[in-house]
C-alpha cells in the first residue's frame, strides 16, 4: 500500500496531532478531526505491511548521544495491538460525538496516540516518552469527570502513573549502566552469575503498576468510575493493554507472572460480587480479565502468547461495550448504582441488548468473541500441565459470569423496577443517544463477528501455534461451566443467599495507605516540622548570641571602639611585627 505519510512518522503521532488540533476546534470540528485522525493513522499503519512471524521491520532509526533509536518496529506482536488501539479510538470518537467535552475529545486522541506509539516503539527511551504521555493525557480524562472526588482520584492516579514512569526510567538507566543498549527486547530477572537483575525488576514493577498487579491495582477502581460516561470508555482501552503488550514483549515466559496472573483472576471476583457501583464492578472485572493475559504471558508458549494477544484484542471491544452501556445508563439516569437501577429494559431495549452481548462475550459463551480467546489461554495452561493455574482460571471464568455476565445486565436492566411511572411519577428514561447507539452497535457486531468468524483474528496473531476454538471438548467444557454458574446464581437469588445490593463503600488494600498510611504520613510531617522548628530556633539563638558578643566588643560602646593611648598602640604594633618576623624566620 502506498504510504500517505513518511515512514518515519509514527501512526500514533497522527492521533496526537489530531488531538492537539481538536483542542482548538468547535465540537463538530473535533469530531471530524477525530474520525480523520484515526482513519489516517490506521491507513498509515496498514501501509507498513506486516512482518513474517519472528521477524520485524524497523523505521525511524537514528543515533544520538551514543544510543541507537528505533521509533517504529513493525512485527506481528506490535501490529495487533496497534490495530485494536485504532479501533478503540474510533469507537471513542463515535461514542463521545455529542457528550465528550473539549478536554475529553482532545486528550482522548492524544491518549490513544500515545498507546499506539508505545506499542510500536522499538527502543526503551521512545517507549518511556509515550508511556509518560499516556499517563499525563489520561489524568485529564479522569479530572473531566468533574467534582472534588474526580479531582482527588485524578491526583492519586497521577502520582501512581508517574511513579510507574520513574521506575521505568530508573530501570532503563540501570540497564544502560550494565552495558546494554536501549533496544526493547526480552529481559531476564536474573543475571549470568545468578544474582537478581535490578534493571529487569524495576521495569517489571513499572509494567506491573499499569497492568494493575495485586496490591498495585486500586488506582483502577479509584479512578475509572470517577470519570464521565465517555471518559470511562476511553480509560478502559489503553493503559492496561499497553502494559500487557510490554509484558508480552519484555517478560514472556517469566514464571512469576503465572501466580500473579492467577491471583489477578481470582480476587476481583469477591470484590465485584459485593460492589454496588456497577462501573466499579466493571473495573474489578477488568482486573480479572487482565489476570488471564498476565498468566498467559507467564506460561510463555506460542499458544499462550497468542491467547494473551487475542484476549487483549477482544477484551478491549467487549469491555468498551459494557462501559458504553453503563455510560448510556448514566447519561439517561445519572447513576450506575445497582440499588438505584432496574427495569430499564422497558425503555432502553437496545442498550439492554448491547449490554447482554458484552456480558455474553466477557463470559466466553460460544459464538461470542471472549470464547475464542479465553479458551486459548486455558488450553495453554492445560498443555503446560499447570493444574493449579488451570483450576484457578476455570474458577475465574465462572466468577466473571456471576459479576459481569449476570450481575451487570440483571441489576441494571431487570431486577426491581425503580423507574415505573407509578413509582417515580415521571416518564421512563429515554433510549441512549444515537451516537452512543451506533458505537455500541459496532462493538456488539465485532463481538459476534469475531466469535463466529475467528479466523480473521487468528490471522493477526503473533506466533505460529495449532489451535481450533470450536472443538467438542472446548464447547462442552465451557458450556458446562457456564450453565452451572447460571444455576448457582439462580439458586442463590432464589434462596436469598446472593449478596444484597446495599449502599456501601467496600474497602480494598488502598485502605492501608489511605488511612494508616495517611496518619503515618501526617505524623512524619508533624515530626519533621517540629524538628525543623527546634533546629531553626537553635540556629536563631546561636546567631543572636554571636551578634550580641560581636556588638559587645565591636559596637559603639564596645571595648575595641574606645580611644586607646599611643603606648598601647605602639606595643600592639611591636607584638604583631615580632610575630611576623618569627614566622618568616621559621618558614625559612
Q: What is the model's pLDDT at position 429? A: 92
Kindly state the average pLDDT of the residues 275-286.
92
**End-of-domain residue from the set 506, 533, 551:** 506
Q: Which residues contact 468 (CB under 8 A, 6 or more apart)?
A: none
Q: Domain for residue 402, yes or no?
A: yes
Q: Which domain holds residue 529?
A: 517-587
Q: Are residues 500 and 541 in the same domain?
A: no
Positive/negative CA dihedral, 58, 64, 68, 72: negative
Cβ neighbours, 10 Å, residue 136: 16
Please, are residues 44 and 4 in contact by the beta-carbon 8 Å criterion? Answer: yes
Residue 562's pLDDT band (boundaries 50, 70, 90)?
A: low
The three cell numbers locating residue 142: 479522569
Which of 483, 292, 298, 255 is CA-nearest to residue 378? 292
Task: Tell me, yes or no, whether 490 and 521 share the same domain.
Answer: no
- Residue bearing the bigger pLDDT, 402 or 382: 382
Mark whether 472 and 578 lie in a shared domain.
Answer: no
Phi/psi of residue 196, nearest 5 degrees: -70, 140
Show which of 506, 528, 548 is a domain's final residue: 506
In-domain check, residue 24: no
Chain segment 200-221, per-residue pLDDT in tens: 999 999 999 999 999 888 899 9
Q: Are residues 365 and 487 in the same domain?
A: yes
Do residues 557 and 500 share a domain?
Answer: no
**448 lies in the same domain as 569:** no
d(CA 321, CA 233): 8
Q: What residues contact 357, with CB distance under 8 A and at least 6 apart?
A: 318, 321, 368, 444, 447, 448
Query: Do residues 487 and 535 share a domain?
Result: no
Residue 408 to residue 48: CA distance in whole angstroms: 41
- Identify whether residues 458 and 534 lie together within a single domain: no
Answer whether residue 217 is part of any domain. Answer: no
Q: Do 138 and 107 touch, CB atoms closer than 8 A? A: yes
Confidence of residue 584 (pLDDT cuts 50, 70, 90): confident
Q: What is the mean pLDDT of residues 481-493?
A: 83
555, 559, 565, 570: CA torsion to nearest 10:
-100
pLDDT higher than threshold 90 for residue 481: no
Identify the weakest region by mean pLDDT among 282-291, 402-411, 533-542. Answer: 402-411
User: The C-alpha cell of 348 is what?
Assistant: 432502553
For residue 184, which of 243, 123, 129, 266 has the smallest C-alpha distance? 123
Domains in the chain: how many in total? 2
Retrieve residue 502's grid coordinates: 446495599
Average pLDDT taken over every residue of the chain: 90
Structural domain contains residue 428: yes
Residues 391 and 471 in one domain: yes
174 located within any domain:
no
161-165, 552-556, 583-587: lowest mean pLDDT where? 552-556
Give per-residue pLDDT as tens, 73-118. Answer: 999 999 999 999 999 999 999 999 999 999 999 999 999 999 999 9
Measuring CA to CA, which residue among 216, 209, 281, 280 is closest to residue 244? Answer: 209
Residues 6+ apart with CB under 8 A from 330: 229, 279, 336
Amino acid at each position: 500500500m502506498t504510504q500517505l505519510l513518511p515512514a518515519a512518522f509514527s501512526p500514533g503521532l497522527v492521533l496526537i496531532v489530531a488531538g492537539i488540533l481538536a483542542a482548538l476546534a468547535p465540537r463538530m470540528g473535533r469530531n471530524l478531526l477525530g474520525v480523520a485522525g484515526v482513519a489516517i493513522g490506521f491507513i498509515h499503519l496498514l501501509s507498513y505491511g506486516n512482518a513474517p512471524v519472528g521477524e520485524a521491520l524497523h523505521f525511524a532509526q537514528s543515533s544520538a548521544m551514543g544510543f541507537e533509536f528505533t521509533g517504529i518496529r513493525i512485527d506481528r506482536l506490535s501490529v495487533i495491538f496497534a490495530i485494536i488501539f485504532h479501533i478503540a479510538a474510533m469507537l471513542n470518537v463515535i461514542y463521545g460525538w455529542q457528550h465528550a467535552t473539549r478536554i475529553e475529545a482532545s486528550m482522548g486522541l492524544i491518549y490513544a496516540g500515545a498507546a499506539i506509539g508505545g506499542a510500536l516503539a522499538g527502543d526503551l527511551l521512545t517507549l518511556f516518552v509515550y508511556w509518560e504521555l499516556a499517563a499525563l493525557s489520561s489524568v485529564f480524562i479522569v479530572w473531566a469527570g468533574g467534582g472534588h472526588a474526580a479531582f482527588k482520584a485524578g491526583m492519586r492516579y497521577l502520582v501512581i502513573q508517574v511513579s510507574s514512569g520513574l521506575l521505568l526510567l530508573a530501570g532503563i538507566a540501570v540497564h544502560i549502566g550494565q552495558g546494554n543498549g536501549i533496544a526493547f527486547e526480552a529481559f531476564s530477572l536474573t543475571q549470568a552469575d545468578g544474582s537478581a537483575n535490578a534493571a529487569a525488576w524495576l521495569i517489571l514493577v513499572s509494567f506491573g503498576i499499569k497492568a494493575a498487579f495485586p496490591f498495585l491495582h486500586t488506582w483502577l477502581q479509584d479512578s475509572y468510575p470517577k470519570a464521565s460516561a465517555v471518559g470511562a470508555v476511553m480509560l478502559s482501552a489503553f493503559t492496561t493493554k499497553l502494559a500487557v503488550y510490554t509484558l508480552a514483549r519484555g517478560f514472556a515466559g517469566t514464571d512469576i507472572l503465572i501466580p500473579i496472573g492467577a491471583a489477578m483472576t481470582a480476587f476481583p471476583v469477591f470484590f465485584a460480587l459485593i460492589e454496588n457501583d456497577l462501573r466499579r464492578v466493571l473495573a474489578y472485572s477488568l482486573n480479572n480479565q487482565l489476570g488471564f493475559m498476565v498468566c498467559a504471558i507467564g506460561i510463555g508458549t506460542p499458544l499462550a502468547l497468542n491467547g494473551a494477544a487475542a484476549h487483549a484484542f477482544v477484551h478491549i471491544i467487549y469491555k468498551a461495550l459494557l462501559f458504553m452501556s453503563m455510560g448510556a445508563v448514566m447519561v439517561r439516569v445519572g447513576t450506575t448504582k445497582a440499588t438505584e437501577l432496574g427495569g430499564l429494559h422497558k425503555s432502553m431495549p437496545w442498550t439492554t441488548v448491547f449490554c447482554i452481548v458484552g456480558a455474553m462475550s466477557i463470559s466466553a459463551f460460544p459464538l461470542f468473541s471472549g470464547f475464542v480467546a479465553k479458551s486459548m489461554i486455558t488450553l495453554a495452561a492445560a498443555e503446560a500441565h499447570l493444574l493449579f493455574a488451570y483450576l484457578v482460571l476455570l474458577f475465574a471464568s465462572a466468577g466473571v459470569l456471576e459479576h459481569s455476565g449476570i450481575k451487570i445486565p440483571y441489576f441494571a436492566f431487570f431486577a426491581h423496577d425503580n423507574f415505573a411511572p407509578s413509582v417515580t411519577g415521571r416518564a421512563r428514561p429515554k433510549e441512549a443517544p444515537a451516537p452512543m447507539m451506533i458505537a455500541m452497535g459496532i462493538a456488539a457486531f465485532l463481538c459476534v463477528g469475531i466469535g463466529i468468524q475467528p479466523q480473521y483474528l487468528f490471522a493477526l496473531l503473533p506466533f505460529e501455534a495449532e489451535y481450533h476454538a470450536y472443538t467438542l471438548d472446548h464447547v462442552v467444557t465451557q458450556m458446562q461451566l457456564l450453565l452451572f454458574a447460571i444455576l448457582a446464581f439462580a439458586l442463590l437469588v432464589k434462596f436469598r443467599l446472593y449478596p444484597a445490593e446495599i449502599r456501601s463503600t467496600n474497602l480494598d488494600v488502598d485502605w492501608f495507605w489511605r488511612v494508616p498510611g495517611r496518619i503515618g504520613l501526617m505524623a512524619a510531617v508533624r515530626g519533621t516540622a517540629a524538628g525543623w522548628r527546634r533546629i531553626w530556633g537553635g540556629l536563631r539563638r546561636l546567631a543572636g548570641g554571636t551578634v550580641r558578643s560581636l556588638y559587645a566588643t565591636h559596637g559603639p560602646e564596645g571595648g575595641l571602639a574606645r580611644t586607646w593611648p599611643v603606648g598601647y598602640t605602639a606595643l600592639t604594633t611591636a607584638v604583631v611585627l615580632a610575630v611576623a618576623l618569627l614566622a618568616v624566620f621559621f618558614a625559612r
